[in-house]
Amino acid sequence: MRNHHTRSFLNSLGTLLTVLLVLSTQAKTTGAQQAPANAIYNITFEATWSAETHPLDFPSNPHFSGLIGGNHNDQVSFWQVGELASLGIQRMAEWGSQSPLDDEVEAAIVAGHAEAVIRGGGIGVSPGSVSETFSVSQEFPLVTLVTMIAPSPDWFVGVSGVSLFEAGAWVEELVLELLPYDAGTDSGPSYASPDQPTMPPEPIYLKTDGPFAGGVPLGTFTFTLISSPTTVPAVDRFSVRNFPNPFNPRTTIAYEVPVDGPLSIAIFDLKGHLVRRLLDRVVTAGGGSLTWDGTDQSGRPSAAGLYVLQVEAGDRVKTRKLALVR
């Protein structure tokens, strides 16, 4: 009798544990399903850099260049402390230029490691603030964003590979203090130093000397979740990109088409004259790339200047301006 009751208890306990395991698995699956594929964020750059926070050698025209970066996965990095700056990081840190860092992000997009370039305005006078809205997906949840400290030899603030998707959910808000970095490409000791190229270049490092002694942040990046819709609108798969731009002597053109069909890719001058037809055939849905070497239909080098890239897929047309430099 005791054995019968024991077996009944064990059977009931086993059934209960099975039910709990199923419910737990369902809850985890439901949670994963509820996490939207895409999210929309607002980034606010609040600059606090001033004569009060950084009194040593403070410049008369303190400002920050336009924000530039992108969202990507962990297969690519656009800058890291201890690594040499890319040309894009160098031009951003020395000149405040958004190019060719945008081209480096575009190249990562073509390679399948990034999703989109993120651009934003600058701050004309610091202290000040600027905001920008951008979208991000679970496939490419990391954000890299930088801006030049201006004037300066090669100093900047920013973040590298910050994840906005953690533990199966979108981060509601993330506030990051911004400390100054040296790109390692110019050796000027002060804000207004003339160009003194560092030869050979040094790895990027956190700058804690000179006007930045004391480790006081220059501001903050605040990432705020605006929305994460459960139903994500269909993505328009008809796109065209090229990199680098400006270019000399060649540029890579990457395209994506949503359906099988005829595809035409051609280069025109600003008067509408055909310079070079690069592709004219039926293709299957998906992406591809090709190169324009700056020559015309006869193989002769085209003159420096602006050209129009035209991509026709069925009844849809996209254009993009190209800048050929010599």
Model pLDDT, residue 262: 94
Class of the CATH-defined domain 239-324: mainly beta
Given the candidates 2.60.40.2130, 3.30.70.260, 3.40.50.2020, 3.40.50.300, the CATH classification of the domain at 38-227 is 2.60.40.2130
Within 8 A by CB and 6+ apart from 273, the residues are none
- pLDDT tens sequence across 193-209: 999 999 999 999 999 99
- C-alpha span between 72 and 109 (Å, rounded): 8
Q: Which long-range contacts (CB under 8 A, 24 or more apart) does 229-238 make?
A: 229/36, 229/38, 230/34, 230/36, 232/36, 232/37, 232/38, 237/285, 238/313, 238/316, 238/318
More confident of the two residues 267 and 14: 267
Overall pTM surpassing 0.75 (yes/no): no
- pLDDT tens sequence across 226-253: 886 544 444 557 888 887 888 888 888 8
> In the structure encoding, which two tokens stand for residue 215, read together?
């480790």
- pLDDT tens sequence across 1-30: 445 444 554 454 444 444 344 444 443 433
- pLDDT tens sequence across 37-71: 899 999 999 999 999 999 999 999 999 999 999 99
Pick from 100, 94, 82: which is nearest to 197 by CA? Answer: 94
Percent of the chain, pLDDT > 90? 69
> In the structure encoding, which two tokens stand for residue 310, read together?
């035209």
- C-alpha span between 133 and 158 (Å, rounded): 17
Model pLDDT, residue 147: 97
More confident of the two residues 27 and 302: 302
Maximal C-alpha separation, the chain: 100
Half-sphere exposure of 305 (CA within 13 A, CB side): 12
How far is residue 207 from each of residues 34, 146, 148, 155, 228, measured CA to CA in Å?
Answer: 42, 15, 14, 8, 37
Within 8 A by CB and 6+ apart from 270, the residues are 305, 306, 307, 308
Amino acid at position 62, single letter: P
**Residue intervals in the chain for CATH 2.60.40.2130:** 38-227
- C-alpha span between 221 and 47 (Å, rounded): 9
Pick from 223, 209, 244: which is nearest to 162 by CA? Answer: 223
Residue 105 pLDDT class (50, 70, 90 cuts): very high
Q: Give SS3 for 200.
A: coil
Mean per-residue pLDDT, 30-36: 54
> In the structure encoding, which two tokens stand for residue 1, read together?
């009798």
Amino acid at position 284, single letter: T
**Residue intervals in the chain for CATH 2.60.40.4070:** 239-324
Model pLDDT, residue 100: 93
